[in-house]
Structure 1
Amino acid sequence: MEDCQHILKALGAFDYVAATKLISKITKAYQPIGNIFTRLCSCESSFTQLQFLRSRWFVMRKDTSVEIVYTNLASELPKEILNITTATSSLSNTDKNHLIVVMDALTKLCHIRRDMINLYQAILAQSIKGEFDEILNDMEALQTKTLDLNLSKNLSVLGVGVEKEIKILTCLLRARTAITNYAFQEACIALFQLKGDLTEWKRICQEQDYPEKSSTRPDDTKELSTWRFPLFGTGQSESKVHKQGDIWPNTIRWHARVLGNLTSKMTLYFNTILLEKESIVSDQDPEKTLWKGLRIDYYEQISTFKKKHNAYSIGLVYEVTHDTPFYPQGYVCCPKTTPYEPPQGIHSFPFIYCHPKEPPNKHLPSIISIIQGSKHKLSDPRSGPVYFYDHTIGSTYYMMRVDKHAVCVIIYLDKHLNREPATVEFITNIVTSLRGSTVIEELIRVD
């Protein structure tokens, strides 16, 4: 049944206007299938706009939530398969067989969508605390399950989209974990796969051809010359994309924002490594060109604040733990044959980023003492920055934990009698951004 394939293409391309028109045609031929596609179209529209997350903040009848509708569809589709099998309608045997295959695949899709809803909700719930290990395990299990179902075979681009979305979400969490663990190689691979799948998903959607197709979406990808952009960057600022009219659904738009957030975080964490590569291809100041076109320019934020408020140093201290090997270069060539020697003493608290570049090593004993003495407050994601004045060396410190390893540190060479409001605001904003809390909470604000 060709009309059925056209509907699946329209749904997979997020063209719900065209899908609705196509569904009205198939309803005339066989009403039960039209009714199922009508409900599925409504569910898919709500899902891709992330409305099921917003419902947590608004009063909504439980029986009308998208999760419940998917559940009801999953239980009703097998009954419809039985009806198609036994029906003495005008449908040919070929059409019946085709519909049975599609209805069976849609049943599986509804179950997968329910699992995805739960995972999106779990990600949002971790926006502040930031513990994603269990969610990553669940995501990898769901990815394996989805690939085994091979939805793309029977559901056209709709099935392809489900597989791509789960793979993208998995890569997002893998990249986040790799950056947190200072695993440069793993972070590069995850972000490369993430950007590739996101770009390919958009391309596939744009290339679909079906009746009643709505206007073509703008292509918002453009590469720049710097070495990094072919791997991670889109090369366009958000303002330019907004002017073009970014009408992709909220799911894709959120994935792109998280990609931008993680790319900026990676650029800060591995700044020393990346600057070496950037200096090879750039004739300009590599410190500035490295950040060109990124969604968040941490270098500009940090350098501007330091100059304006006369801070002595702003940096990230990495706290080495027994469960995560630390390599200053971000990777090891032969992990199975190269014995790991963890850093000892003050070297187990290295600066992975510092502005200006020279690490304030003479302040490291004080910094380590403050970190170890303020573990409880630094570990509380809802707590504000730690403020401490060292009478011995006459310096003031502000600290706030980004993740389980990195602590943001701002050093002043003078005494602050009280917490300086501008410094508290700055370190809170930059740490919140690095944690990803802001971009994760955009799950309920993307519009």
Structure 2
Amino acid sequence: INPSMGSILISIVKCEQSYTSFEYLKMKFFRRDHNKMYADINNSIRNFIKSPPDQPDVDRLVKICQNLKNFLRIRQEQIIIYREIPIYFQNVMSENFTDKIEACKEKVGEFKITECMGSLGVGVEKELTILKYLFMGRKAIIEYNLEASVIFLYKVKSLISSWKEICSQQIYSEQKSEETGSTLQAIQAFFIAPDRHVKRGHNSPNHILWLEKFLNNLISKMSLYFMRIFLGRETAMGADVRSLLRRINPDYHSAIRNFRNRHISLVYEITDEPFHENGYNLAGEGSFRFIYSCEDKIPMDHLPKIISIIQENNEKKGASLDKSEPVCVKDQNACYYFIHVEHHVYLVAISERTEKVDSSTMEFITTLARRLDGTE
């Protein structure tokens, strides 16, 4: 292999190791300068194309370099997308993020990355599609759209499964003790799956593991938000909540049931924005719906007080209850713990006894809200 070409490929391998480990998301002090890394490789590719070596397959090498240059451009855009995720977690109803992912996918098609880069290119296309569907699924859950939620999350699960199968056919640096061969063979294996499959078990790259964790959290969240609907269908088939939750991880319902003597519910404030349970938006008291209750009996007798607390806080702050800080309100009959989970969803813990503020309850609902929101 041409030494210059070999140097370019080895540099790209190092960039890929950094990319799949999410190193670019570390604090700036602890991470390498990715802009410089990619700029250096692009300069090397540009010099190679400008002054190609005098050898028989030079046209093929130049074409490979052009494809690598396009691939690096896509990777840089993917890094920008991942770095902007925290922004769009806070603005879930915006479609700017999925539009940005779709624009990147269009460039993948324009550059013919899946055709030119083999299994690596297929992985790029799948990764972008998975990320797009995850955010569309998250939005569908928040809009209480069961059908769309199930469809998007099912698509993600299928895409991750097929992507992991592709990855299982690759040779990774941690397999060096098992696989031997020349540097050229290792570089070739980076782009083209070898004939002999190497199973990686659960040793998937970090970016796949993160996407899987994101998916599992959305599945758990969906099971909680739509539990009343799911249980109705499970009961009709003779099953119960245990069959519904047996493979859910994390199991938010069990965590809630096991937490002290509190009635914990999720309340959805219906507005002009889509709420898909009945196909229309309810008014009055019905515009605040218990979409989840840890007990069979929904605490409807507490609903007037809950609505009053939410509306009073909204009027005082000019916005919804603070998403980061819980609120405790006491009256003669009960103690109410509130936190805003996301958009129009509120987590409410009710203690029938009037008591001093319980710090463990405040901490529990704060942690649960952050996990449901995906920010922890």
TM-score range, shorter chain: 0.7 to 0.9
Residues 1:297 and 2:246 are matched in the alignment: no
Residues 86-125 of structure 1: pairs in structure 2 closer than 5 A? 87=53, 89=54, 91-92=55-56, 95-124=57-86
Match of 1:318 among 250, 268, 288: 268
Q: Displacement, 1:80?
A: 1.8
Match of 2:289 among 344, 350, 359: 350
The secondary structure found in structure 1 opposite 2:337 is strand
Q: For the residues of structure 2 that align with 1:189 and 1:147, how far apart are their CA atoms?
A: 24
- Does the CA contact (< 8 Å) of 2:88 and 2:97 recur in 1? no
Identify if the C-alpha distance between structure 1 residues 359 and 218 changes in structure 2 by more than 3 Å, giving closer, same or farther: same
Residues 1:272 and 2:228 are matched in the alignment: yes
RMSD: 2.3
What letter is aligned with 2:276? Y
Gaps of 5+ in 1: 1-25, 220-245, 333-340, 439-447
Q: For the residues of structure 2 that align with 1:194 and 1:67, how far apart are their CA atoms?
A: 30
Match of 1:217 among 190, 195, 199: 199
Identity across the alignment (%): 31
Q: Displacement, 1:132?
A: 6.8
**Runs of 4+ in structure 1 displaced over 6 angstroms?**
none
1:121-170 deviation digits (Å, cap 9, x = unpaired): 1114566x464733223222222222332201111111111111111111
What letter is aligned with 1:272? R
The secondary structure found in structure 2 opposite 1:364 is helix
Identify if the C-alpha distance between structure 1 residues 136 and 379 changes in structure 2 by more than 3 Å, giving closer, same or farther: farther
Q: Displacement, 1:273?
A: 1.9
- Does the CA contact (< 8 Å) of 1:50 and 1:250 recur in 2? yes
What letter is aligned with 2:219? T
What TM-score, normalized to structure 2? Answer: 0.87
**Partner residue of 1:181?**
143
Query: How many residue pairs get matched?
Result: 352
Q: For the residues of structure 2 that align with 1:39 and 1:207, how far apart are their CA atoms?
A: 22
Residues 1:82 and 2:31 are matched in the alignment: no
**Partner residue of 1:381?**
323
The secondary structure found in structure 2 opposite 1:182 is coil
Q: Displacement, 1:282?
A: 6.2
The secondary structure found in structure 2 opposite 1:411 is strand
Gaps of 5+ in 2: 172-180, 190-195
Match of 2:15 among 43, 48, 67: 43
Q: For the residues of structure 2 that align with 1:34 and 1:428, how far apart are their CA atoms?
A: 52
The secondary structure found in structure 2 opposite 1:374 is helix
Q: For the residues of structure 2 that align with 1:435 and 1:190, how far apart are their CA atoms?
A: 18
**Partner residue of 1:248?**
204
1:211-232 deviation digits (Å, cap 9, x = unpaired): 457983344xxxxxxxxxxxxx
1:331-366 deviation digits (Å, cap 9, x = unpaired): x5xxxxxxxx42110111111111213222221111
Q: For the residues of structure 2 that align with 1:117 and 1:354, how far apart are their CA atoms?
A: 40
Greater relative CO (CA pairs within 8 A, separation 6+):
1
Residues 154-169 of structure 1: pairs in structure 2 closer than 5 A? 154-169=116-131
